Chain A
């Protein structure tokens, strides 16, 4: 299935979880937050939250600013 991760199209196996989407970008879990279709998915739910076709996944972290 196709999902969008941080604005880029990715092909993931059907039934893939948020954890698998995050792993496309980084191996670390700390300091990172995820929203799927503009809803926050808490870290404790990443493993159990399955994505569906066309989901928009945003993976954010802190950068210099302000």
Chain B
């Protein structure tokens, strides 16, 4: 079935976007990414450490995975814009996962700073994918501002709490004309499936795989989960009923 995901005019056959944080080693990360089938994967920008062994960029290049730099760790629009510009320079991509957090305890995204940064980055020619709360109004405003996708959270980063407000995710999906990517909070395969069943176009996850006891096996599970959820969404689920509806003939 031809069912590509299109973001910013670029097509992807996998609807699983991976993060790279939390993996115990680059070898384990590479294996998990390969098994996941992902075609788009995030990295963070940090001060160059001359003693760091190996590079996550080499892993992505070897596997032919498109790199999606993020602005993780930024608290203000100004920091995020600078980080995005540095990422563009270092990685030669104008794609950016915009992430502006409000505090270190929850890592929840700051909507005001995020919107400000999104406007500035769109004006600067970036393909902007903003990480946001599950807020349909903000999602709409960011789409109107020219973002290439919106990335509402299911639950706080790394929490593994799943999708805390499926209703809001559905509301975002209903009105969005750009891809909706469920980002953050995925704990296990059923969370990823639910995201896709709710109508999300893709799922972004990292910790659920990289900190699993067997990252490669969880990566495989997530790959299947995203496909299953997408197929179920396209297939159209039956309505929920209060009482039984016989699936076998009732007459003798």
Query: Do A and B come together as binding partners?
Result: yes
Binding site for B on A (CB under 8 A): 6-7, 25-26, 31-35, 38, 40, 42-43, 58-66
Are B55 and A61 interface neighbours, CB within 8 A? Answer: yes
The digit string for B78-93, where 1 denotes a CB below 8 A from any CB of A, is 0000100111111100
Are B20 and A58 interface neighbours, CB within 8 A? Answer: no
Contacts of B55 in A (CB 8 A): 31, 61-62
CB < 8 Å: which of B48, B72, B91 contacts A66? B72
Binding site for A on B (CB under 8 A): 19-23, 26, 29, 42-48, 50, 52, 55-57, 67-70, 72, 82, 85-91, 97, 99, 204, 206
The 4 closest A-B pairs by CB, nearest first: A65-B44, A66-B42, A33-B90, A33-B89
Are A60 and B97 interface neighbours, CB within 8 A? Answer: no
Are A40 and B85 interface neighbours, CB within 8 A? Answer: yes
Are B50 and A62 interface neighbours, CB within 8 A? Answer: no
Are B56 and A64 interface neighbours, CB within 8 A? Answer: yes
A6 to B49, CA, bound (A): 9
CB < 8 Å: which of A35, A43, A60 contacts B48? A60
The verdict on A66 contacting B86 (CB below 8 Å), with A59-B48, A61-B45, A61-B55 known, is no
Contacts of B47 in A (CB 8 A): 6-7, 58-60
Are B45 and A62 interface neighbours, CB within 8 A? Answer: yes
A33 to B55, CA, bound (A): 15
Are A66 and B45 interface neighbours, CB within 8 A? Answer: no
Are B89 and A63 interface neighbours, CB within 8 A? Answer: no
CB < 8 Å: which of A25, A60, A66 contacts B206? A66
A6 to B52, CA, bound (A): 15
Q: Which of A6, A58, A61 is the most central at the interface, judged by chain B CB atoms within 10 Å of its CB?
A: A61
A60 to B79, CA, bound (A): 14
Q: Which of A31, A43, A62, A63 is the most central at the interface, judged by chain B CB atoms within 10 Å of its CB?
A: A62
Contacts of A7 in B (CB 8 A): 47
**A to B CB contacts below 8 Å, 22 in the list:** A26-B48, A31-B57, A32-B48, A35-B82, A42-B89, A59-B48, A60-B46, A60-B47, A61-B48, A61-B90, A62-B43, A62-B55, A62-B56, A62-B57, A62-B67, A62-B90, A63-B46, A63-B56, A65-B70, A66-B43, A66-B72, A66-B204
